[in-house]
Each structure stands twice: as structure tokens, then as C-alpha cells.
């Protein structure tokens, strides 16, 4: 059996290192996905203020998240705008929408 040349050994060492790097990257991504899912399960529909469970309630035809422990009300993306539809230009809600970049009340 012939002895491998230095170039061949270097080539296979690089190939092996690249394979190990890819494997480590895939394992890291899988772990990150698993951790993200665990965090989602722990925190989804939990009050950001007190950590208790949130319940969805209807307010003016919009489902908002309500914490009955601390009485907090939490809005998802777009819900503030939905609640502000038809509000007068000078209203408090129109001002809030303007501050936070909503469409209602924008000039």
C-alpha cells in the first residue's frame, strides 16, 4: 500500500475539518430551534408584567389579550390600529397611533 502524500493528507484533513464544522453548525441551529420552541411554550400567552396566563377577550370586535391577575391589556401587532379606526383626529387614541407609527391620525 502506498503512503499518502502530504498534499493528500492535507486535502483530507481540510475535508474532515469542513465536515465537522458543518456538523457543529447544524447541531447549533437545531439547539437554537429547540431552545426557541421551549421559550415560546414557556412565554406564549403569558403576561409580560406578572407572568400569569393571558386570556383573549373581544373589545370593539378585536381580540386583545387580557391578564386578570394584574388587569393588564396587551395588544398584538395591528390591533391598536384596528381599535382606532374611525377615531377623531384630536383623540387620545389618534395621538397614540401617531406616536407609535400607526396609520390613523397620520398627517
Q: Is the pLDDT of residue 58 over 50?
A: yes
Task: Point out the least confidently predicted range of 52-61, 69-78, 94-103.
Answer: 94-103
pTM as predicted: 0.48
Q: Report the pLDDT value the prediction gives residue 105, as an integer from 0 to 100.
A: 42
pLDDT (tens digit per residue) in 59-76 = 888 888 999 999 888 888
pLDDT (tens digit per residue) in 28-49 = 888 888 888 888 788 788 898 8
Sheet containing 73-74: which strands, arranged edge to edge?
A: 55-59, 62-66, 73-74
Amino acid at each position: 500500500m502506498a503512503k499518502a502524500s502530504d498534499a493528500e493528507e492535507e486535502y483530507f484533513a481540510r475535508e474532515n475539518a469542513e465536515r465537522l464544522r458543518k456538523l457543529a453548525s447544524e447541531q447549533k441551529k437545531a439547539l437554537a430551534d429547540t431552545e426557541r420552541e421551549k421559550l415560546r411554550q414557556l412565554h406564549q400567552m403569558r403576561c409580560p408584567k406578572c407572568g400569569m396566563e393571558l386570556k383573549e377577550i373581544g373589545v370593539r370586535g378585536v381580540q386583545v389579550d387580557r391578564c386578570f391577575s394584574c388587569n393588564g391589556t396587551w395588544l398584538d401587532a395591528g390591533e391598536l390600529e384596528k381599535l382606532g379606526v374611525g377615531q377623531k383626529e384630536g383623540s387620545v387614541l389618534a395621538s397614540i397611533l401617531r406616536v407609535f407609527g400607526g396609520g390613523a391620525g397620520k398627517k
